[in-house]
Structure 1
Amino acid sequence: MPFVTEWSTTDRRNLVVFAPNVLKVFKRYRQRFNWQLEGGGILLGRRRGEHLEVLFATEPSDKDRRSVNSFVREADGHAEIAHKAWQCSEKQIDYLGEWHTHPQQVPTPSTVDRHEWGKLIHERPVLTTILVVVVGTTAIYAELINGIQNKTLLPLSNTNCQN
């Protein structure tokens, strides 16, 4: 269950694959001590039909607002990285979603998280599925939100036992 590469919905219709460098970013910002600030960023990669290949995770910037119990991502910095990746990949690498940390071993999304994710899905110019990830100290919570049907898909679960 911890930091694994492959995740899928329980019906196995949607597969999400995290590149190893993405998992390294998640691990770097885990809140293992009570003084560590929440971190977060955006997820970039390729859409392959119903499947997502997460290739990059931006890291917190100086402009983001961070505290022990909250993370507010500012567009500055993250948007530029996303735009550059999109251009350099000939429009193949796109925004896939958001990630942030929680100071819990096994994280669960807060009411604030769910509210913000709802706003994100409605701000998208095209109603697509987005990936949301909450990184805990020993595990990850991952979920796909379907913008077309405006509903949450089943949470993702890991499909292998890699650490």
Structure 2
Amino acid sequence: MRIVQLAARRPDLILSFARDTLVVVENHVIDAVSAHAQTGRDAAEAGGILIGSYRGRHIDICECTVPMPADRRLRYMFDRLDTGHDRAAKEAWRKSQRTETYVGEWHTHPEDYPSPSGLDLRTWSNVMRHHREGPVLFLIVGRRGYWAGLGCRGTVLPTQYADAEKAEIHIACQTPSGTAPFVS
């Protein structure tokens, strides 16, 4: 008898939010966004969309887009302008027979442990006004950690870290100012 030993698969990132909502971010998505962390002195911000499925009140994120040629990238700003992001979401919707869709946004900040800027909060407020399918995950990638918030009905709820297996990933557990969640 031949025994094959499989390499241990790194667990996916699991985020928990108030109102009993879990968000699972698959490892290859975390790897893809982390590859764009602004580690260089003059590195420009990067970003894209998150694609996944709504499963009741939970979200499973299985894909993301990365910066594309028409996007505007500066040291302290990312503007998702390339229509390729929208095409990627539509293609995922079609290929998945209408189960995978746009579920959020990600971008980088040139800081170790990021938090949302005023521009981020205004942009997210606009996203929530136009996205009616379900909650939206907002992810900010820093050099050493991440900030994650779940947008729903004009409010961005901060994460409560649910996956003890990934303790090396630091997720902010408070709102940008340390006060109540953002309300539009």
Compute the TM-score of the two structures, normalised by the length of structure 1: 0.90
Q: Deviations over 1:99-144 (max 9, x none)?
A: 00001110000000000000111122x2621110000011110000
Q: Return 5+ residue gaps in structure 2 as ranges.
A: 1-11, 169-184
For structure 1, the 5+ residue unaligned runs are none
The answer to whether the aligner puts 1:80 opposite 2:84 as a matched pair is no
Q: Which runs of structure 2 are paired with 1:151-162 in the superposition (5 Å)?
A: 151-162=155-166
For 1:136 and 1:145, locate their aligned partners in 2 and report how far apart those are by CA, in whole Å: 20
> Residue 100 of structure 1 corresponds to which residue in structure 2?
107
Where does residue 8 of structure 1 map in the other structure?
Answer: 16
Matching of residue 46 in structure 1 with residue 53 in structure 2: yes
What's the counterpart of residue 69 of structure 1? 76
Letter in 2 for 1:64: D
The equivalent of 1:19 in structure 2 is 26
Match of 2:42 among 35, 45, 48: 35
Mapped contact 2:38–2:109 kept (Cα < 8 A): yes
Are the aligned partners of 2:148 and 2:158 in contact in 1 as well (CA < 8 Å)?
A: no
Question: CA contact under 8 A between 1:65 and 1:73: conserved in structure 2?
Answer: yes
State the partner residue of 2:134. Answer: 128
Aligned length: 156
Structure-2 change in CA distance of 1:142 and 1:89 (3 Å): same
Instruction: Work out the CA distance in 1 between the residues paired with 2:157 and 2:78.
Output: 24
Offset at residue 33 of structure 1 (A): 1.4
Query: Displacement of 1:152 after TM fit?
Result: 2.4
Percent identity over the alignment is 31
Alignment RMSD: 1.5
Contact 1:34 1:68 in 2 (8 A): no
Q: Normalized against structure 2, the TM-score is what?
A: 0.80
For the pair shown, which has the larger CA radius of gyration, 1 or 2?
Answer: 2
RCO greater where, 1 or 2, for CA within 8 Å and sep 6 or more?
1
CA distance in 2, matches of 1:92, 1:75: 23
Q: Quick one: distance in 2 between partners of 1:69 and 1:20?
A: 26
